[in-house]
Structure 1
Amino acid sequence: ISRALLAELGPVLIFAPRRQMAEDLATALSSTLPLDEPLTLTQEQDALVGDRLGKLLRNRVAFHHSGLSYAVRAGIIEPLAKRGQLRVVVATMGLAAGINFSMRSVLVTGTHYQAGNFQRQVRPDELLQMFGRAGRRGLDDFGYVLVTPDIPRLHDAHPLKLRRAEPVDWPTMIGVMREAVLRDEDPFLKAKDLTARLFSSRPLTVGVERFYAIKAHSTGSAQGDSTSSGQADSASSLPIDDPLCGLPVDGERARLVRRHDREMLTPGGMWEPQPTATEARLGELLVRLPNGHWRPVLTVAAIAQNHGFGALCKIRFGQSIRQAQGGPVGQSHLRSSFEYGREIPLAAPKKETWVPAKWLRKLLRERFPLLAAVNGWQPEEFLKQVLPVVEAEMRGRLHEQWVREGMVFGRFRFDEVPVTGYRDSRGRSLENPETRRTYPAICQPCALKGDCEGLELSVSPALAWRQLGLVDQEGVPTRRGIIFSFFNQGEGLAIAAALEEPDYPIEDLVFDLANLRVGHRFSLDETYSHGRLGAVCQMVYQRGEYPGYLELGLPIAYGPGGSEVVRDVVAHQVPRHRLVSESVRHGDIERALTEWRSLLRQITQAPAYDWDRWLQLRDIAARYVHSTRSPARDPLPPLAPAQSQRYSGRFISRLARSA
């Protein structure tokens, strides 16, 4: 910068990515660049700029960003820069389009800057906007771009090719559709016809074009058939102008036809809708064998051996398994006279006592030392105290016991083991039924299901309106959609969602509206809560992503913390300087109040829709709309006579001597 000033390339406008960087760079330049004639500030100017910026201005250096108050930006820095009183101005990139002055040379220090809640890369047209500030009208024949390694250069900038935005304006379309309903016209057809008349490089679509094309073709074909064959049956000439589902939105039909229902094949050979798996008992579960036959699970050795331990055995029954024994309940042809279980030694009878088997003694010593201390058990006490331990380890229940070869053996069943299965219409629980996917029931007889399968799954405007609840199935705007049509972008979505919450006080909502346009500045940290308005939006819109309208279920410019500041200023009369912090400056508070007033004014001027909460919001907004005053209406501090003259730049000679 010193060399640029020495080469008579000053004054210089520098663009920095962030506020803090702009302030630090301006401070460093102020302390480094020599100066012969400091700038004298008036008492009013000195009171407005503060100590830090005042010191920089005396050295003819300044920073310029949106955190400065309107009076400082528009009343001091910009007039001084226009009159050549400043040698260097360091501005943020985000305010490049709003800078109302030019300087002889421009330097862009980075390629990224903060915009809202995201880091964004400088676009070529934004670079052109910054470089376009080089050269003062009426003073310079040329403007200069200063470059250093690894920063953008002039060839990186080029103008943005202007074209009409391809997405249709949702609030406008919803408003047109509402008027169509009031005139007893088809709202979707009205929106489709409007987009066809809009100028665009390629056709704009709503998302119902295929439906109305099929409808027009079917109607035309039916009328032609009726004209050519007058003797035909009158019923055959009726046009089938709608799909059976009755959904005009192409995206909805595309999703419906792909939402295949899952069916299962039952033991009776019938296909039935497959229900959600439910709890069942292992003893009632049926399994499908590779040959397609069904059998109870416990009659298949390969499956039964996955339960318990010990020798696999057959437990036989009479005509049917007794209910008292917990046997399976099923259809008669699926009952079995046996099931597989497990057989293990339990104890060795010694006189009138039972001594636990070797494996059982080891188990008791490891887990139940008090039971292991007993050498012999009476049979009744054994079954009462020790058998529950065995059943828990086996995960089955004792079916019968007998003495063989000097040992007491027990057979265990697993019919009560909890499992999951699919119950058919006859109450049978099936483990692995054969399944297939089929069209939804309403699509199966429809002749247009093949056409619906070929539709794209992308989110069209009409599909988005349906997902957000702005219109009903026929395209009639809902109450939410009508409120949405009164506003721009996603602000109406947030307001409508909040009004739908009956326990959301309107007095609180009026101040929470300030969050809709403040961005990230007022959030204290990265773990902040979105506030009640943000929470309602995310709950209602399920954190949906709709470009240009919602990001994670929130309006694009939404940011928490602004409502508290606005409430403190308006309702609690807190002085603004007490609300200033490192991240929230005077300019941020002014802008938050300005945007809040603008939104309140928009509410008061919106139609008086017949909804008590909306009318209440309009009344309260009218009460607060004039509660604050725009800083642009206040008189700006005048420049001193010496400040109105162009600075001669005598500091250059001193730079030369110091060099």
Structure 2
Amino acid sequence: VRVQERLFTTKPIFLGVENAMKNPHTPCKLGTDAERARYVKKKVRQILNSEGEWDYDPVVQEVPMERVSVPVYQNRDGETLYWWKLKDTPKDMTDWSISHLQPALSVPDIVSKLGDGRLCVLDDCGKYKIYGKVLSAADRLHNGKIILSKWVRRMTQWRGRQVSDGIWQKRIQPLIRKRMDQKGAQVVKFIEKKNSIDVLLNHGKQTLNVPTDRHGIALWGAAVRKVAPSSCQTCNIVDTCKTLSIKTGTAMLWRRLKLIDADGIPTRRGRVVSFYSHGDGLAVAAALEDESYPLNDLIYDMANLHAGHRFSRDENRWSGRMAMRCHDAYGFQNIAGYLENGIPTQYGFGAEFIVMDVHSNGLNKYKWVTDFLGAGDIDRIIIEWRSLLRQTLHSPALEWERWIHFKELARKILDETESPTLKDLPPLEYEQKQRVNHALRMR
């Protein structure tokens, strides 16, 4: 950071850790400015629990209806109501408190949304009425025969519409009880009427996805609010963090690509990346981390890093094992000048085959020449490839056996190959040896 501040430039260059270095010890323990800016702007969900306390991010799980409670709130005027019936959610809950909890099965608005059927009262002997559903299961004819409802035939997979009273008692009713139990609805009883038969259902076993507070009470329709994270509420620089930019900074990119650890110390991947330019090091580091990637293949695959689109022919330019390793390591991130969909921007599949063939026999270069791929393109990729090998050879040492073997392999191939560039240049012409006159002549 101090070096960046001393650069001779009209526009300051920020790494995205300037404020974090000035205030290193914070409750959130985040190390970059962008992470802190995003964290402080992120709202956390809270619910008012059964004891009138605010819980952070309660666990949402499936709970049977018979264990779910509904909080009833009361304001200072003594008015009680359910939270979901408030038209305008109050910004401040200081005027509200929990009056009491009641079973979810005692709230008609909740039970009416559970399955088909008409709302009915199952039990009115307790403090609250317990509601359920009633369904018409069959019609009874004058001759005693029973006509099954369509939903009964579908549920029990019964083919005929008309059954006798004996079959209804011995076969149809047990099937209805079994199928309803599988759905979480318990058959309380069958109501025999003069011309119809109804089934009374209790949905107490049916599950709902509801939050559970710290006291183990499952709540439906609890008061909800969104506040700043708990660590920000006790931090003395929260106002400073609110002014920071959420734009991804350099240091945050390093963290995202795992080039540095949480303390800002370069990782092994980060050190390998620093040995190369642009996205080349990212690809090499990702490939070296794969122990199953043979170094003999990797040394030639490096030619793809600057191949572009000319060498892939009819194949997919972004294919190849090195590209797959980049996707595994970096996903599909786009970083200008470094990665395009997780792969170095100048990458192109197909150059490794040509480089390998030319390495075995230099005269094989011309058999790869086509109308689209010229001899100059092949010379260029060999020069680029050898340049990457020299960067590898002259890079600092690492205490990593795979890196040591990779450098030795680069040295061996450099000794076996030659650059296609001219070494013995022709002599200069007479005009080229004369002094250059840069005078501007006006005509």
Output the TM-score relative to the length of structure 2: 0.79
1:282 is aligned to 2:65: yes
The CA deviation at 1:471 is 2.0
2:432 aligned residue: none
1:314 is aligned to 2:121: yes
Matches within 5 A, 1:75-474: 192-212=1-21, 214=22, 242-275=25-58, 277-288=60-71, 290-292=81-83, 294-316=101-123, 338-347=129-138, 355-357=145-147, 360=149, 364=153, 368=157, 370-372=159-161, 374-378=163-167, 379-385=169-175, 391=180, 396-405=185-194, 407-474=196-263
CA contact (8 A) 1:354 1:382 kept: no
1:544 is aligned to 2:333: yes
Q: Distance in 2 between matches of 1:460 and 1:387?
A: 62
Q: Distance in 2 between matches of 1:246 and 1:193?
A: 22
Q: Distance in 1 between matches of 2:34 and 2:328?
A: 23
Whichever residue aligns with residue 210 of structure 1, its letter is N
Q: Distance in 2 between matches of 1:411 and 1:279?
A: 24
1:534 is aligned to 2:315: no
1:594 aligned residue: 383
Query: Residue 303 of structure 2: SS of its match in structure 1?
Result: helix
Q: Distance in 2 between matches of 1:272 and 1:197?
A: 48
**Change beyond 3 A, Cα 1:367–1:315:** closer
The CA deviation at 1:592 is 1.5
The CA deviation at 1:432 is 3.3
Q: Distance in 1 between matches of 2:423 and 2:274?
A: 34
Q: Distance in 1 between matches of 2:277 and 2:194?
A: 90
The CA deviation at 1:493 is 1.6
Q: Distance in 1 between matches of 2:250 and 2:312?
A: 32
Query: Residue 287 of structure 2: SS of its match in structure 1?
Result: helix
The CA deviation at 1:454 is 0.9
1:625 is aligned to 2:411: no
Q: Distance in 2 between matches of 1:348 and 1:248?
A: 72
Deviations for 1:579-606, whole angstroms, at most 9, x for unmatched residues?
Answer: 3344333222222121111101110111
Whichever residue aligns with residue 284 of structure 1, its letter is R
**Change beyond 3 A, Cα 1:248–1:306:** closer
**Unaligned runs of at least 5 residues, structure 1:** 1-191, 216-240, 320-335, 639-659
Deviations for 1:428-449, whole angstroms, at most 9, x for unmatched residues?
Answer: 3333332223333333211011
Whichever residue aligns with residue 286 of structure 1, its letter is S
Highest Rg: 1 or 2?
A: 1
The CA deviation at 1:314 is 0.9
CA contact (8 A) 2:275 2:395 kept: yes
Q: Distance in 1 between matches of 2:239 and 2:218?
A: 35
1:556 aligned residue: 345
Query: Residue 349 of structure 2: SS of its match in structure 1?
Result: coil
CA contact (8 A) 1:308 1:394 kept: no
The structure richer in helix per residue is 1
Q: Distance in 1 between matches of 2:161 and 2:303?
A: 74
CA contact (8 A) 2:58 2:212 kept: yes
Q: Distance in 2 between matches of 1:369 and 1:432?
A: 40
Query: Residue 278 of structure 1: SS of its match in structure 2?
Result: strand
**Unaligned runs of at least 5 residues, structure 2:** 73-80, 84-99, 428-443
Whichever residue aligns with residue 205 of structure 1, its letter is F
**Change beyond 3 A, Cα 1:581–1:346:** same
The CA deviation at 1:575 is 2.2
1:485 aligned residue: 274
The CA deviation at 1:375 is 4.3
Q: Distance in 1 between matches of 2:408 and 2:8?
A: 39
CA contact (8 A) 1:544 1:551 kept: yes
**Change beyond 3 A, Cα 1:631–1:193:** same
The CA deviation at 1:617 is 0.9
